[in-house]
Amino acid sequence: MKKTALSLLCLAISLSTASADDVIKGAMKKNFKPEDAIAKKVGKGEATDAELDTLIKCVQAICAATPPKGDKAAWVEKCKTMVAALQKVKAKDASGISEFKKANNCKACHDVFKPAK
């Protein structure tokens, strides 16, 4: 149940056909890709506490999902690193932002976990 609620949080956009497989895609489209995506705001030190909470829950939800490619255990590790960095940012620990930026390397993660088209 908890997992479902978290997934929905990630997919709060208009994804009426949300399924477990779409959790990661939905999260990417909503919280990573847009110019004003929370993941980008965090990198600039502009995310509010509420936005940080949203992103933390979102990353926890994709952590529970299985990426289309790559090793699940490595995926969980990666997501956990992101969550830990976000929690530091929220606790106003200055190292959090640089740790998050390092973990949120779009290409590095896509190379391993996102299938080529």
Does residue 100 touch ligand HEC according to CB under 6 A? no
- The neighbour count for residue 75, using CB atoms within 10 Å, is 20
Does residue 29 touch ligand HEC according to CB under 6 A? yes
Helices (H), 32-94: 38-44, 49-64, 72-90
Residue 72 tokens read as 């699940």
Q: Determine the straight-line distance between the first and last CA of the chain, rounded to whole angstroms.
A: 32
Using CB under 6 A, pick the residue from 67, 86, 90, 97 that binds ligand HEC: 67
Does residue 33 touch ligand HEC according to CB under 6 A? yes
Per CB under 6 A, residues contacting ligand HEC are 24-25, 28-29, 32-33, 39, 67-68, 78-79, 104, 106, 109-110, 113-114
